[in-house]
Amino acid sequence: MAQTIAVLSQKGGTGKTTAVRTLADVLRRCGLRVLAVDLDPQGNLSDYFDVAPEAAPTIAEVLTGRADLEDAIHDDVVPAALSLAEAELQLAGKMGRELILKRALKKVRDAYDVILVDCPPALGLLTVNGLVAADYALISAEAQHFALQGVVQVLGMLEIANELHNDDLVWLGVVLNIADMRTTHSRDTYATLKQEYGEKVFETTIRASIAYAESAERGVSILDYRPDLGADYLALTDELLRRLGPDFAPGRRKLKRLSAPAAD
Ligand SMILES: Nc1ncnc2c1ncn2[C@@H]1O[C@H](COP(=O)(O)OP(=O)(O)OP(=O)(O)O)[C@@H](O)[C@H]1O
Ligand SMILES: [Mg+2]
């Protein structure tokens, strides 16, 4: 049965969607079956995966009860579009509105090893749905002064999700994203997070590079566009699989083989 990981942050532009896309790429290359769910009305993840803009149904129809999740899977992606913003409003007054994604995913969990959920940059109902549906929460924090504050707010949200709906939600950790570790600013941010949250902070930081925007524009994974930078995501995936436990050991072994040429 799939392990579901919600990727979130309190603020926008911390590299969540890039992380979901790239982690999905790496995990698939490790032989794992991965479903990527776009929970953001911006639809960035759907664009990254080149889902046709007219693809239907989307996550909006699933959340409003007009489609089954199975039918909203297009090449192992459940896309989102602006219609999701309206769907979120429609949900606001409904009973059990926080549980819809969890229920919808139940039917497909056997078909995947990992389900990655890309949350919008707001701690609203969509993100709550992502958290309630998830086994794990992965926080992306941009290497900036307010990173710590952002993490504190997201952790508050995890606590609420746990208390109200999902006792089993585990905080997988926080990754420092879009980081330039040559600057004292990024190093200080990392040190602060480490001091506060210890082992929850991933050893791997994702380096900042314009190559990410370029690779997105060209529709090429960073793993192929700039394998030297993609190595950060291979290292992050290794830590992530370790945290997911022994069931994922075969995936880690495959990952080691993927990483080997890059180390030459
Ligand atoms: N490691 C990186 N270095 C530099 N730029 C990056 C990196 N990762 C992502 N980016 C770029 O930063 C921008 C925001 O990234 P992304 O869309 O992944 O963030 P996000 O947290 O999902 O944003 P939002 O909160 O709007 O959903 C994009 O232009 C992306 O190409
Ligand atoms: Mg995003």
Q: Give the distance (Å) from ligand 1 centre to CA of residue 142.
A: 9
Of 106, 130, 104, 115, the closest CA to residue 34 belongs to 115
Could you tell me the CA-to-CA distances from 87 to 122, 164, 206 in Å, in that order? 15, 22, 33
Of 99, 93, 172, 84, the closest CA to residue 129 belongs to 99
Which residues, 6 or more positions from 232, have their beta carbon under 8 angstroms from its beta carbon? 204, 205, 206, 207
Q: Give the distance (Å) from ligand 1 centre to CA of residue 246.
A: 31
Q: What is the token pair recorded at 167?
A: 């006792």
Average pLDDT value for residue range 78-87: 97
Tell me the pLDDT band of 87, cut-offs 50, 70 and 90.
very high
Question: Which tens digit of pLDDT belongs to each residue from 129-138?
Answer: 999 999 999 9
Three-state SS at 77: strand
pLDDT on residue 93: 87
Residue 264: is its pLDDT beyond 60?
Answer: no
Query: Domains of the chain, with CATH numbers?
Result: 3-246 (3.40.50.300)
Name the residue with tokens 């495959």.
254
CA 15, distance to chain mean position in Å, is 9
Strand order in the sheet with 136-142: 77-78, 34-38, 114-118, 3-8, 136-142, 170-177
- DSSP strand pairing (77-78 vs 34-38): parallel
Residue 206 near ligand 1, beta carbon < 6 Å? yes
Bridge partners of 35? 115
Residue 262: is its pLDDT beyond 60?
Answer: no
Of residues 210 and 259, the one with the higher pLDDT is 210
* pTM, entire model: 0.97
CA–CA distance, 190 with 174 (Å, rounded to integer): 10
Average pLDDT value for residue range 211-236: 96
pLDDT on residue 164: 81
Tell me the pLDDT band of 261, cut-offs 50, 70 and 90.
low
Question: Which tens digit of pLDDT belongs to each residue from 99-114?
Answer: 999 999 999 999 999 9
Residue 121 near ligand 1, beta carbon < 6 Å? yes
CA–CA distance, 205 with 125 (Å, rounded to integer): 29
What stretches of 49-145 show up as alpha helix (H) in DSSP? 59-63, 83-91, 100-106, 125-133
Could you tell me the CA-to-CA distances from 90 to 121, 155, 171, 253 in Å, in that order? 19, 27, 29, 45
CA–CA distance, 264 with 233 (Å, rounded to integer): 17
Percent of the chain topping pLDDT 90: 88
Residue 166 near ligand 1, beta carbon < 6 Å? no
Residue 263: is its pLDDT beyond 50?
Answer: no
With 0-12 / 13-18 / 19 or more C-beta atoms within 10 angstroms meaning exposed / middle / buried, residue 225 is middle
Residue 12 near ligand 1, beta carbon < 6 Å? yes
Residue 74: is its pLDDT beyond 50?
Answer: yes
Q: Whose CA is nearest to atom 28 of ligand 1?
A: 213
State which amino acid sits at residue 75: D
Q: Give the distance (Å) from ligand 1 centre to CA of residue 213.
A: 8
Question: Which tens digit of pLDDT belongs to each residue from 183-195?
Answer: 999 999 999 999 9
With 0-12 / 13-18 / 19 or more C-beta atoms within 10 angstroms meaning exposed / middle / buried, residue 241 is buried
Q: Give the distance (Å) from ligand 1 centre to CA of residue 186.
A: 16
Residue 31 near ligand 1, beta carbon < 6 Å? no
Of residues 164 and 230, the one with the higher pLDDT is 230
Average pLDDT value for residue range 68-79: 98
Tell me the pLDDT band of 167, cut-offs 50, 70 and 90.
confident
Q: Give the distance (Å) from ligand 2 centre to CA of residue 119.
A: 7
Average pLDDT value for the chain: 95
Of 83, 79, 72, the closest CA to residue 47 belongs to 79
Residue 10: is its pLDDT beyond 60?
Answer: yes
Residue 205 near ligand 1, beta carbon < 6 Å? no
How many helices and strands, by DSSP H and E, does the chain display? Answer: 12, 6
Average pLDDT value for residue range 82-88: 96
Question: Which tens digit of pLDDT belongs to each residue from 40-65?
Answer: 999 999 999 999 999 999 999 999 99
Among 17, 117, 123, 202, the mutation site with the greatest number of ligand 1 atoms within 8 A of its Cβ is: 17
CA–CA distance, 174 with 204 (Å, rounded to integer): 10
Write out the H or E segment, with its range, that includes residue 156.
Answer: helix 147-164
CA–CA distance, 173 with 156 (Å, rounded to integer): 14
Ligand nearest to the CA of 38: 2
